[in-house]
Amino acid sequence: MWLLSKLRAVVGIAVQQLRHDRGRTVLAVIGICLAVLSMTLLGSVGLGVIETGEEKFDESGRDLWVTGGPVQLSPGSVGGFENTVYDAHPMAENISAREDVNTAVPLAFQTVYISANGSEFDTLIGTGAPARGGSVRITEGSGFSSRDTHYADGTYDGPMTHEVVISPQTAELYDVGVNDTLYIGGSIGGARNNEFRIVGVSPTFSRFLGTPTVVLHLSELQELTGQTANDKATMITVDVADDADVARVERDLQAAYPEYDVRTNREQLQATLERQAVLLAAGGSLVVLAAIAGIALTTNLLLSLVYQQRRILAALRAQGATASTLVGVVGTQAILLSLAGGLLGAALTVPAIRVLNVVAETVVGFENVVSVQPRILLAGIAVALVIGIGGALVAGWRVSRLSPLEELS
């Protein structure tokens, strides 16, 4: 009972002191709130990128990815990208022939010139892929009417279909739809001579790449961008049979093609993220700096409160209040400030994430990259309390060293 009364008195004094100087209290809460908000947003972005990446790979319907290294720019070349998988068609056919593989599909990405009227050209990402089958979702039209006929066993003498499947963003950008035409080529001159008929609209590849796309048969994209000499592609995606062991197929393919990297969905995502190590390190550093800044801010605030209230605290001590009571008052202030800042920061995280998603969609084209993670919000509140406890320990030490006679003299 005595302990409860003392606790009630300590809390009452702490609250009254915070209410006495509301301006300082509000500023302290805002400071802690900003520290928590920066940590929760950075944490949500990190987790959101990983989750979005995993979703995109899962949506692809593929199990393994065969690549010749990271996709790199090739300045001055037609297409602008350096594709590192050679003899892509026969290699994909050999992999598809395995009993434990359903399909192996070579894909290529290149920059192409595109125009709706043949006079004004823009550059978009062209994808060489089969826009038909279960792994590609067609929302309008019917997709490609036939298989890739231009390759013709490596001669590239077969007829070109001149069919293209576009993303919804491309359709909106050029105000075109199914059965309209687009001029597409690896150069402006080439584009003027190659008119493609739009046979379908598909969001599949644009959602994966995060940008407007046009999808052509692989051999036709290779023809337009000068990639036929070595049958170049960006990667080969592999769909493993349902009853097959993905890990075993991965090992077998890696042994058969040691010059290439064979990865699962998760390994491919990790390889992609590893190439962004500098960016990830910068984000992690910002989280740590935000926590340190929060601790420094709260500690400085509490020390300032102790200094400004030193006469009041000294008077209370002279009237018989114990040192533990005064430490309790200061500690309670720290906990209340941190809790308020943590809760406010967690609450503001939700609308801030919505704003971030709008910005991310505008800049990189991906929707809902950042999601609200309850564990991140709880972690932010927990960090705020840790900040408050750290500040309370320092302030309590300062209070314990107060000398009533010296302060009141």
pLDDT at 407 over 60: yes
What is the residue type of 207? R
- Nearest-5° angle of CA 211, CA 213, CA 216? 155
Phi/psi of residue 226, nearest 5 degrees: 70, 35
- pLDDT by residue (tens digit) across 268-298? 777 776 666 666 666 667 667 766 776 676 6
Residue with tokens 């400004």: 308
Radius of gyration of the chain (CA): 31
Q: Residue-wise over 199-222: b if at least 16 C-beta within 10 A, else e? A: bbbbebbbbbbbbbbbbbbbbbbb
Contacts of 235 (CB under 8 A, 6+ apart): 65, 66, 67, 85, 106, 107
Residue among 222, 240, 223, 224 at smallest CA distance from 232: 222
CA 183, 185, 191, 195 dihedral sign is negative
pLDDT at 68 over 90: no
* CA gap 88, 157 in Å, rounded: 17
Domain parsing of the chain, residue ranges: 1-57+273-401, 69-259
Q: What is the DSSP letter of 263?
A: E
pLDDT at 195 over 80: yes
Q: What is the pLDDT of residue 390?
A: 76
- pLDDT by residue (tens digit) across 300-330? 766 776 777 777 777 777 777 777 777 788 7
Averaged confidence pLDDT in the chain: 81
Query: How close are the terminal C-alpha atoms of the chain, in Å?
Result: 36
Q: Which of 119-133, 140-154, 391-405 has the lowest mean pLDDT?
A: 391-405
pLDDT at 339 over 70: yes
**Burial of residue 271 (number of CB atoms within 10 Å: 0-12, 13-18, 19+):** middle
**Burial of residue 236 (number of CB atoms within 10 Å: 0-12, 13-18, 19+):** buried
Residue among 132, 137, 103 at smallest CA distance from 208: 137
More confident residue, 218 or 8: 218
pLDDT at 41 over 90: no
Contact of 174 with 209, CB cutoff 8 Å: no
The confidence band for 344, taking pLDDT boundaries of 50, 70 and 90, is: very high
Residue with tokens 């320092």: 394
Contact of 67 with 263, CB cutoff 8 Å: yes
More confident residue, 327 or 221: 221
Per DSSP bridges, beta strands 163-166 and 195-201 are parallel
- Residue 403 corresponds to which tokens in the numbers above? 């000398």
- Length of the chain as a residue count: 409
pLDDT at 169 over 80: yes
Contact of 237 with 62, CB cutoff 8 Å: yes
Contact of 176 with 139, CB cutoff 8 Å: no
